[in-house]
Amino acid sequence: MSVFEYTAKKLSISSWIWIHSRKSSLKNTILAQPLKTKPTFNLLQPARKWLNQIKVHNPKQAHYLCQLIPAQCPFERDIKIFGHTLLHIPPLCKLNPFYEETVALRFRAMCYLADECGEDISAYC
C-alpha cells in the first residue's frame, strides 16, 4: 500500500465520521428548539404551479411556445441620439414574477423538439 492510498483512506474515513457526528449534533439542536416560522400565502403560487405542470406533447404546441416566449429579455434598450446614449433601460425580465417558469416552459418545448421530434432548434436559439 502506498502512502497516497493510506492517506486517502484515513482522510475519507475521518471526514465521514466528522460529518456523521456533526449531523447528529445538529439534529439534536434542531429538535430542542421550537420552530418559529410564519405561514405565508403566495398569491402567485397556483399560477406558477400551473405553468410548471404544462406538458409539451405536440410539435405544433412546442413550435408555438418557442416562438411566443423570447430567448432573451426584449426590454433592455439604449436610447441614442446622434450616436450618444441618452438613456439605458435595464432588462426588466427579472421583475416578471413568472420569468423562471416561462423560461423553463420554453426550455421544455425546445427539448421536446430536439429529443422527441429530432428537429433542428438552432432557429430558436
pLDDT along the chain (125 residues), means of 10: 50 46 51 63 88 94 93 82 88 84 94 92 88
Three cell numbers at 68?
411566443
Is the domain of 49 the same as that of 22? no
Does this model's pTM top 0.85? My answer is no
Sign of CA dihedral 57, 61, 66, 69: negative
Q: How many domains does the chain have?
A: 2
Three cell numbers at 81?
441620439
Q: What is the pLDDT of residue 93?
A: 81
Q: What is the pLDDT of residue 12?
A: 46
Q: What is the pLDDT of residue 96?
A: 84
Q: What is the pLDDT of residue 17?
A: 47
Q: What is the pLDDT of residue 64?
A: 95
Three cell numbers at 112?
421536446
Is the domain of 32 the same as that of 49? no
- How far is 72 from 61, CA to CA, in rounded Å? 20
Sign of CA dihedral 68, 121, 98, 90: negative
Residue with cell 449531523: 23
Q: What is the pLDDT of residue 39?
A: 66
Q: What is the pLDDT of residue 19?
A: 47
Residue with cell 433601460: 89
Is the domain of 18 the same as that of 53? no
Identity of the amino acid at 44: L
- Domain containing residue 20: 1-37
Q: What is the pLDDT of residue 43?
A: 86
Is the domain of 29 the same as that of 69? no
* Cβ(114)–Cβ(56) below 8 Å: no
Is the domain of 55 the same as that of 9? no
